[in-house]
């Protein structure tokens, strides 16, 4: 018999790390290798959120502001105090750098 000795323990998005108090904070009680949605002891289920690869550094694209897993170095910024830092863009912005929308365009989009 394959008793479940360990549980997945995942919590709902937004409730990670909260004390296991309240229906929304209850962790998933399924096995660590379960498939599909998480489920807690109350019978609630929620979708599994892919866990980001912890090996990928959280580099933010300077053009679009989104974190990218494949940063491309475009420059180095010197700072008077402390070390400088390298600027990165994501592949999308490198090849197709979108022009920032003008305020009038933003208004039209709304
Ligand atoms: Zn789970
Ligand atoms: Zn970008």
**How many angstroms separate the alpha carbon of residue 18 from the centre of ligand 1?**
16
pTM, to two decimals: 0.42
96 alpha carbon, closest ligand: 2
Task: Name beta bridge partners: 86.
Answer: 76
What average pLDDT does this structure show over 26-52?
88
* Residue 77's pLDDT band (cuts 50, 70, 90): confident
Output the pLDDT for position 4.
47
Ligand showing the shortest atom-to-Cα distance for residue 59: 2
Mean pLDDT of 95-108: 61
> Where are any strands of DSSP class E within the chain?
38-39, 45-46, 59-60, 67-68, 72-77, 85-89
């Amino acid at each position: 018999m394959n008793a479940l000795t360990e549980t997945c323990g995942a919590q709902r998005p937004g409730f990670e790390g909260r004390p296991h108090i309240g229906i929304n904070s209850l962790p998933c009680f399924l096995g660590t290798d379960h498939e599909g949605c998480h489920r807690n002891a109350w019978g609630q289920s929620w979708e599994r959120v892919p866990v980001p690869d912890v090996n990928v550094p959280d580099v933010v694209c300077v053009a679009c502001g989104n974190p990218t897993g494949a940063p491309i170095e475009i420059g180095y910024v010197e700072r008077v105090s402390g070390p400088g830092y390298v600027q990165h863009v994501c592949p999308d912005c490198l090849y197709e750098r979108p022009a920032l929308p003008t305020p009038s365009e933003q208004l039209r989009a709304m």
